[in-house]
Every structure is written in structure tokens, then in C-alpha cells.
Structure 1
Amino acid sequence: MVNVPRLVVAAPSSGSGKTTVAAGLMAAFAERGLDVSPHKVGPDYIDPGYHALAVSRSGRSARSGGGSDGGSGGWPGGGGSRPGRNLDAYLCGPDRIAPLFLHGAAGCDLALVEGVMGLFDGAAGQGELASTAHVAKLLRAPVVLVVDASSQSRSVAALVHGFASWDPEVRVAGVILNKVGSDRHETMLREALEGSGVPVFGVLRRTDAVRAPSRHLGLVPVAERRAEAVGSVAALAAQVREGCDLDGLLALAHSAPPLSGPAWDPVAEVRAAVRGAGSVPAEQPVVAVAGGPAFTFSYAEHSELLTAAGARVVPFDPLRDERLPDGTGGLVIGGGFPEVYAPELSANEPLRAAVARLAASGAPIAAECAGLLYLASSLDGQPMCGVLEAEARMSDRLTLGYREAVAVSDTALAVAGTRVRGHEFHRTTIEPGAGRDPAWGVVHPERRTEGFAQGRVHASYLHVHWAAVPGVAARFVGGCVPYVSHAG
């Protein structure tokens, strides 16, 4: 049994202020000297970047006037921090949530988990699956409800009572009142909640000082605005220090019961995946992983699985670096915002040529969403790597949601028939939408083919959490071994 002090920060609905309150709490507790482990329910890549900044040593130094090391350009764990980690019961399965949490929170003083959407909102049509409430139950964690009180007074008691009583297995143990207008407003809210049995742990006033800029897919990632983000997080921390009962919240976190282990172990996962199907390579191939402002979407566990599978993971920035890392034997290009940086990516002709040579050499390349666009012939008319005969462009339509898919043929990531759960999140389109050999056959919520399986290139819009299918990391790294000498 493992004791990890922990809280889940939830809300009745999106837009209540979960992210600002969660990041403020993480920063405020980190400034007290606590080792805070940040987590996010759901597939979101952007919020964990703010979480990592909030708990990082470099972020604390900058907030106190000591400067910043500039961060890691989106690479997990940069700046001396714990990476923000995702807990998604749809992508990874309910049974992996507690093990992944224990892995990420190992040795911490406090773990804070930001929820997704409203407390009880989960995967469409699948009940509580992947909701914040579901994850809170799997973690046996007390929930603090962030309530947007800007347009209510006494009704707040009915709202909190409803959320606290809806599911007796979910322990709604406290409330933080957000966007409170005045002292009088605060008094009315507190009086209304006195008989609810749910204590108020904080009152935060309306302010524009803590807002972060947004665009077509949500908040602008930290890697694109690190200096400004440090200031935003500092303002959040100050607001939380002033308005929240940190001692009370810490005591509440310590009331969480022990969790049974074991923690998720990438080495054990890879060994189990390759058992009977090969072995971890004796050589250590270099796997280059795209990062920087254009490619900020990455789950921390992916690099850990690649390392466990025998690779030496080397990040690089396609906006700055004109060559791939020396000895590159495989390339991973995750999600992000290449559409924002299309001219700059296109202008880096030496790197685009190096990526095309690597693909032609037969080295494995795994590209998700942004990576798919980068490998295309063009993006919004700007030349890209030309690995795929496809044209990509921005669209007015948001594509968003969970998917179930199966590998149509053998690829660099999976053998034919491998079933995965993934997530799509983009405002771009690519024509054609699938190659002659598709990467995936989507089976839910609709049936279609998707992506490109071209030689050893696997390119798709689908984001997959490799912790659910650790064999893909082992297969990918195993495919790198013959190509170690191809440096691009």
C-alpha cells in the first residue's frame, strides 16, 4: 500500500476555472517547498505544460526574480520539473489509472489532479468512463469543486449539494468559489453553504490578471510563451495564496487512503510486450523526437517507453535545428501547432530534406497529427517534407473525440489487427485522408480508413497513448536497429 497525499480539482462544467485554480494551487504549494506531482484527467496536452511550469524549479526561480533557464521547448521534464502527466481511462483503460498515477507521483509530497469538463462528464455514450468522477474513484481521492459563482448567490448551495450527493462513491470534500464579485457576494455564498456539509476552502475574486491567451485549439502552449506564462502562473500562485486555505487543503489531501500498488513500470511493460516476440536490442539506437514550439504535444510515458525499449531519446526542434541528431535511427513527430509555424518550418529546408532522406532510408517514422502535416507535401501552400503525397490545410471545422481503431496492415508501430483507442483533436484537413495503405481502420464511432502506412512511415491524425499498447515502443525501437548509421 502506498500513501500519496492527493486531491482532484474538479468543476460543475467547463469554463469554471479548473485550470487556473489547479495551476495556482500547484505553484503555491511548490513555492512552499513541496514536491508537487501534477496530473490531468483526459487527453489534453496543453494544460500539463502549465502544470509542469507551475511546479518547476526554474519557474519558481523566475517567479522569485532568479531568472529562468528557458525551459525545454515542450520536452517533458524540462526546467527541473516533474512533467505534467495525463490520466485517461478511455485511452489507457481504468486498470492502468492508479498504476500510472503511482508511477508519476512516486516520491512526491503532494499530487494534484486537474479534472476535465464537468465532474461527471465522460466519454460520449459510455457512462462515467474517463470522467473526472471516474478517475477520482479509481484514485480514491477527495474532490475539491471549483464553482463559478459569478452569477449566483444562495443557489450555490443547491448546486454543491447536487454534485456532492449524486454519486456517493465520489467524495466531494470541499469547494473553492471562483469569480466572486465582492465582500458582500462572498458573505452570501458562505452563508448559503454553511449547512451543506461541504466546507469552503477558498474564495477567488474576478480578475483578468491570470488569463492565458487562447486560439483554435485552446490555450497557447507554454513553450510558445514561456516568459509570459511564468508571469501568469506567478499571478495565479499569489491569488491562491491569498484566497485559499492551503493548510486545510493539504490536510484534506493527507486524508486520502493508501493505494494498492504496484506502480506502472515502463521497463516491465516493455519486457512483457516483447516476451516471445523478440528482445530489447543490444545496441542503443537514437530516436529523435520533435519538440520546440511547433511540436508540444507529447505524453511523458512515450519517451520512458522508448528508453525502456533500448533507445537513446534525443529531442530536437524543427524550427531551429537544420539536421537530425547524430546517428538518428528513428523519428517520432508528435502533435502540436505546425499550422502556426508553417512558414518557419518550410524555411528550414535542410531539415526537411534530412527527414525525407531518413524516410527513404527505411528508418521507422511515427507521426501523429502535427507530425502528419509536417510529412505532407505542403501545409497551407507552404512546402513541407514531401514524404507523403498529400496536401494539408487549415479548416473551419474542429475534429474532436475519442476513436477506436485497428491497424490495417503491419506498420512501424503495430502488426495488422492491433486494436487501439485514440483521440483526434485538430482544425486541419489532409487530402487524401488516407493512403493506399492506411495506418488505421477506424471502427468507432464511424467506420473509415485513416492515415498513411508507407514503407516504415506511420502517419496519422490519431493520438494514441503508448502506455496502453507498450508493444508499439518495442516494435518501433526494434525497427531502428538496422538504420543506426543513417544520421540524415
Structure 2
Amino acid sequence: MVSTPWALPRLVVAAPASGHGKTTVATGLLAALRRRGLTVSPHKVGPDYIDPGYHALAAGREGRNLDPFLVGAERIAPLLRHGASVPTPADIAVVEGVMGLHDGAVGRRDYASTAHVARLIDAPVLLVLDTTAQGRSAAALTLGMAAFDPAVRIGGVILNRVGSPRHESLLRDALAEVGVPVLGAVTRAVEVAAPARHLGLVPVAERAPESLAIVAALAELVEATVDLDAVLDLARTAPPLTGPAWDPVAAVGGPADAERPLVALAGGPAFTFSYAETAELLTAAGADVVTVDPLHDPALPSGTRAVVIGGGFPEAYAEALAGNATLRAELADFDGPIVAECAGLLYLGRSLDGVPMCGRLDLTARMTGRLTLGYREALAATDSPVARAGEQVRGHEFHRTTTDPRHGEASAWRWDDAEHGFVSGRVHASYLHTHWAGHPDAARRLVRACR
């Protein structure tokens, strides 16, 4: 496939570790640049669903993930180009990193790290530093972060949680010694915090008015404390993207026939965890995709042939989900294929913390104090609407709940020598989150199963 080089300005917002303020700076930059009249494309390294929601609110377009573990390193630059192209070409792309700059998948060195993605998209790094309780050491830390991988270019620093004008002056002088420009300084007094819960920030869809206020405050914070012209100059140092954009139609081979079955995709505040590419792939495979909100919609859209229920926070909305008894009953009897991940798994069970759910699967679920988190290399254990038995898939887990039983007689996946998830009739449900750009056959199989 021939592709015209695209001089897309871009940068990666990174940090030495989690908690330094990446999301604050990245979201504020997106909103501030948009206020300047620029079309900004927001991206997030890793599997996280929540930060892209804030990015989307700030940028006014879909927040998209760049995760080499889930989709393959070869798709990262094409997915960046695709995301920055739709619905219109962006003037700049801002990519928020994950964890520390060089932290990758466990046991795989820096694979799937922020540094890895920065290399794959050939973008300069803007390093956010929490400067609490440090002075000149901030320069040593920055120099070490840069020297650790010379292929990763740290083009500037944002000082966060600066204590005083004297503290800022000390930090600027130290960083000048190592030749790294300071592009902004945020004091502790003007920090803006988003509300959080047990799995991270509260998703945008759950707090729409408050989220809008937070994003507006972050834009004002960045406008007041960051040299936006210098940030733009840094982003423009990225060389042209030379490869083709990812194409959902090419990924699935196009629609199989003229019939377009209707696929309902769960959304709303209780089910916010979904990648933008899921709907794009289903559409490319020949489906018409409609969003349904299980909190409020009393029924599936007329003519629905399949249902996809992603992740989210059903535990926070259990009573409201239980109150929508007509939709629960319809899902219990629905004879088309159903694909459910994590929150969708809980919703299809008999109960969640004693509150009645759909009863489609013979399981109960409850909250625990234990966080299950990490990448998984899974093998499909049973033929289902989204995978062939024996197919290898990469995904991730992120939950504090457990089910009884842990898996069905026909399980969905195997990893670490154990069975996981449920395949019951035309239902495929498990805790595993997957990114369908990494295995587009899931969309193709689901649409074919509708027919």
C-alpha cells in the first residue's frame, strides 16, 4: 500500500513514574491547543480506558489507545495515523504515556512502554516531573531518563508541584546545566484533581458536568503555566509519518454480503470501557452499530442481531441496572450472539453483590479487596462468536471482582495453565479485555454469526 508522507506534529507526554501528573498535563495540553483553534488528536499508551475519555472531552474527538502488546508493534504507527486522520486530519497529536517512561510489560524489558511507543512513532518526549522535595536532583533524574535509551529524545520538561519561585529558579538552572529546556512550571497551589475510585479516575461519562469543569480548569492551568509555542515547536520536530494508516475495512476484508445486521454496543455510565476501533471494525465487517444504555434503555433496538457488552463499573450502578428489569429479561432470552468483557460478564450473571442481574449465565459475582491487573496471553478454549478454539489472543485484566464459579464447563480462554471465562450457547463472556485491532477476526466472526 502506497502512502504519502505526512508531516504530523506530535509528542509524547511521559514521566519517570506514575503519579507525576501526566494526565493533568496531557489533558490540559489537548484542551489548551484546541482553544487555539487547532485540531488535536488524543492518544494513550497502554490499555487504559479512562484517560482517553478525558482526552476526548478535551480534544473534541475520540481518544485512542496505542498498545503494542494488545495490537502488535507493527500497528502502532498505522493506528496513530488512522486516529489522527478521522473524522478530519489533525494539526497535532498528543500521546499520553503509561507508568514510567521505560516501564514495559512484565518480563519483556521495555516492550509496550511509553519509550517503546515513542520510538515506534518517532516522536519527541515531553517529560513531566513531580519536583516535590527535590532540587538539582531533578536534572540528574532527567539526564538519567534520557541516557537510559538514547533512541528516545527528551525534548523538554514540565515541572510539576513546584513549591515557590525560588524552587522554580533552582530547578530551571539545574536543567539548563544538562541542556534540557523547561517548557512549563506548575505550582502545588494550582493543581486540578479529577475524582478517583478503586480502579483509577472516575470515567467522564459518569460525571459529565464535573468533567467539563475539570477539563476547562486544566486548559486554563496549562495556558497559564506552559509555553504552548515551545510545545508546538517541539512537536514539529517529529519527522513525517511515512507508512499507511490502519484501515478497518482492509483489516476485516470488507463486508461479506449486502445484508447489514444490527449490533447493539453497550454504553452509558455503567459501560464506558470500549475502544473506538471496535465499532469501526464491526461497521467495516458489514454491521450497523447502535449504542444501548443498560441503565436507561428499556429494550434493545428493534432488529438487534448481536450484543457487545464491554467493561465499566456495574458495581457502582448495580441497583439501577437491576431496576431496568425489561432489558435484563430481554438479554436473558436473547437468541443472538452476545460478547461480554469484565463488566459485561458480571451483568450477564445471576447477581452482583446480591443485586439481581440478567441471569443469562449461571454465576454470581462480588467485589473483593484484591486487584487483578496485568497483560495476558490467552488461548481460545472453545469455539465462540469471536474466536476459534486454539486461537491465540492477547488481552489484559483489570478488576476487583470475582465470580462463582470461576469459569464455565466450556471456558472462554486458557492462560497460565488455567481455565477462564464462559462460553454458553452463543454467549462468550470473560474478564479478558481485548483490542480488536489486534485480532480483527473477532469482528468478522461476530458479524458472520449474526447471519
**Smaller-chain TM-score bracket:** over 0.9
In the TM superposition, residue 209 of structure 1 has moved relative to its aligned partner by 5.1
Residue 36 of structure 2 corresponds to residue 36 of structure 1: no
Cα contact 1:394–1:428 (8 A) shared by 2: yes
Q: Deviations over 1:308-359 (max 9, x none)?
A: 011000001100011001110000000000000001101110000011121x
Look up the match of 2:418.
448
Look up the match of 2:297.
321
Q: Deviations over 1:93-119 (max 9, x none)?
A: 111100111100111000000000000
Distance 2:189 2:276 in 1: 33
Look up the match of 2:171.
189
Q: Deviations over 1:393-420 (max 9, x none)?
A: 1010000000000111210101111100
Residue 343 of structure 2 corresponds to residue 370 of structure 1: yes
Cα contact 1:288–1:316 (8 A) shared by 2: yes
Look up the match of 1:100.
79
Equivalent position SS for 1:468: coil
Q: Residues 52 and 447 (structure 1 numbering): CA distance in 2 closer, same or farther, change over 3 Å? A: same
User: What TM-score do you get using the length of structure 2 for normalisation?
Assistant: 0.97
Look up the match of 2:450.
480
In the TM superposition, residue 281 of structure 1 has moved relative to its aligned partner by 3.2
Distance 2:205 2:315 in 1: 15
In the TM superposition, residue 208 of structure 1 has moved relative to its aligned partner by 6.0
Cα contact 1:210–1:233 (8 A) shared by 2: no
Look up the match of 2:440.
470
Amino acid at match of 2:71: C
Look up the match of 1:24.
28
Distance 1:15 1:199 in 2: 22
Cα contact 2:42–2:95 (8 A) shared by 1: yes
Look up the match of 1:284.
260
Distance 2:442 2:139 in 1: 49
Look up the match of 2:280.
304
Look up the match of 1:65.
none
2:62 to 83, 86, 90: 83
Cα contact 1:223–1:292 (8 A) shared by 2: yes
Cα contact 2:337–2:385 (8 A) shared by 1: yes
Unaligned runs of 5+ in 1: 57-81, 273-278, 482-488
Distance 1:17 1:112 in 2: 15
Q: Residues 145 and 209 (structure 1 numbering): CA distance in 2 closer, same or farther, change over 3 Å? A: closer
1:405 to 346, 369, 378: 378
Residue 207 of structure 2 corresponds to residue 205 of structure 1: no
Look up the match of 1:244.
226
Distance 2:25 2:189 in 1: 13
Look up the match of 1:276.
none
Distance 2:272 2:124 in 1: 31
Distance 1:193 1:8 in 2: 19
In the TM superposition, residue 207 of structure 1 has moved relative to its aligned partner by 3.4
Amino acid at match of 1:470: P
Q: Deviations over 1:198-239 (max 9, x none)?
A: 110110111365101111100000001110111111111111
Distance 1:2 1:213 in 2: 38
Equivalent position SS for 1:237: helix
Cα contact 2:190–2:221 (8 A) shared by 1: no
Equivalent position SS for 1:466: coil
2:399 to 426, 449, 472: 426
Q: Deviations over 1:359-401 (max 9, x none)?
A: xx2x110000000000001001011000100000101000000
Look up the match of 2:354.
381
CA RMSD across the alignment: 0.9
Distance 2:73 2:120 in 1: 7
Look up the match of 2:366.
393
Distance 1:280 1:384 in 2: 35
Q: Residues 377 and 281 (structure 1 numbering): CA distance in 2 closer, same or farther, change over 3 Å? A: farther
In the TM superposition, residue 140 of structure 1 has moved relative to its aligned partner by 0.3
Number of matched residues? 444
Distance 2:376 2:35 in 1: 40
Distance 1:394 1:217 in 2: 12
